[in-house]
């Protein structure tokens, strides 16, 4: 990544160099908003179109009005922010804007858009070969109206992530209130069992990650059978291979889940290679 001494701002709010919002913003008061976390690789935002599609659909679901040329405006702002950088993490936040006191939203929201650029996290390099994960005690609520979206209400993830401090633990796997596995605190989970790709159903809880979609689409292109399942931890632990995905980390194989060991194999290697090609192409 280029030097952080760049004269360009690292935060843009509604296209302006700024680092503050009005105190009555509904994103702050009620979590009324959404966000996207996008990998900047070789100077390009990876899977940009897919991120924008999810963001715009989420705005529709939450009743947040956005300008007609919303996506193109965000793209211009990303290019301004990242003009001198080749690697990093772009975070986009869209809030419903200021609506005064009370839960009732105004008929037309004054949406706010925030674009930020962060350095790429420095994860241990050996995580590409396998990571340790634990099962979290915290349970995610079931709510089909919010399921799939990357909304601003992240207290569930904050509470789950607070369960461990050991740096050797890379991620925590979280279940719903019915004890069905949903996802990691920051990632989606995949398993391979007898040649079939499995991932938790996210119809009632969790985030449908962009990299998760990429894996499922890749499996379809490969002719690999995939299924969305409602499995317990014990059922997932019977897998032959396990791995985690998100837009920043790409793919991390799981080498140990609680006390059970796993070994990276052919299917995980294939998906890892596909993600690496994606990052190299930056599309």
Query: Is it the case that residue 235 has pLDDT exceeding 60?
Result: yes
Q: What is the pLDDT of residues 127-184, one digit of tens each?
A: 999 999 999 999 999 999 999 999 999 999 999 999 999 999 999 999 999 999 999 9
280 against 94, higher pLDDT: 94
Q: Is 182 exposed, middle or buried (0-12, 13-18, 19+ CB in 10 A)?
A: buried
Alpha-carbon distance values, 213 to 54, 56, 254 (Å): 11, 16, 19
Query: What SS3 state is found at 29?
Result: helix
Show the domains of the chain with their CATH numbers: 11-118 (3.30.470.10), 125-281 (3.20.10.10)
Catalytic residues: 37, 150, 183
**Alpha carbon distance 250, 211 (integer Å):** 7
- The whole model's pTM is what? 0.93
Q: What is the pLDDT of residues 47-78, one digit of tens each?
A: 999 999 999 999 999 999 888 788 899 999 99
């Amino acid at each position: 990544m280029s030097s952080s001494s760049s004269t360009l701002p690292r935060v843009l709010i509604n296209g302006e160099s700024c680092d503050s919002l009005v105190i009555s913003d509904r994103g702050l008061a009620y979590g009324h908003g959404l966000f996207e976390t996008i990998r900047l690789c070789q100077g390009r935002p990876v899977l940009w179109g897919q991120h924008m599609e999810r963001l715009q659909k989420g705005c529709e679901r939450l009743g947040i009005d956005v300008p007609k040329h919303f996506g193109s405006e965000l793209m211009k702002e990303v290019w301004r922010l990242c003009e001198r950088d080749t690697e990093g993490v772009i975070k986009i936040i869209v809030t419903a804007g200021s609506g005064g006191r009370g839960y009732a939203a105004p008929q037309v929201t004054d949406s706010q858009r925030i674009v930020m650029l962060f350095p790429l996290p420095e994860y241990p390099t050996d995580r590409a070969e396998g990571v340790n994960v634990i099962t979290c005690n915290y349970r995610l609520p079931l709510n089909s109206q919010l399921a799939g979206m990357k909304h601003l209400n992240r207290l569930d993830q904050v509470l789950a992530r607070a369960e461990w401090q050991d740096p050797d633990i890379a991620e925590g796997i979280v279940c719903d209130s019915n004890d069905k596995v949903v996802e990691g605190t920051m990632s989606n989970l995949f398993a391979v069992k007898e040649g079939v790709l499995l991932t938790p159903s996210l119809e009632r809880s969790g985030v449908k990650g962009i990299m998760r979609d990429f894996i499922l689409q890749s499996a379809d292109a490969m002719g690999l059978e995939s299924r969305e399942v409602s499995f317990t931890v014990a059922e997932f632990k019977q897998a032959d291979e396990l791995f985690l995905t998100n837009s920043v980390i790409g793919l991390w194989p799981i080498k140990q889940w609680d006390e059970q060991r796993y070994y990276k194999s052919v299917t995980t290697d294939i998906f890892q290679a596909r993600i690496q090609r994606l990052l190299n192409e930056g599309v």
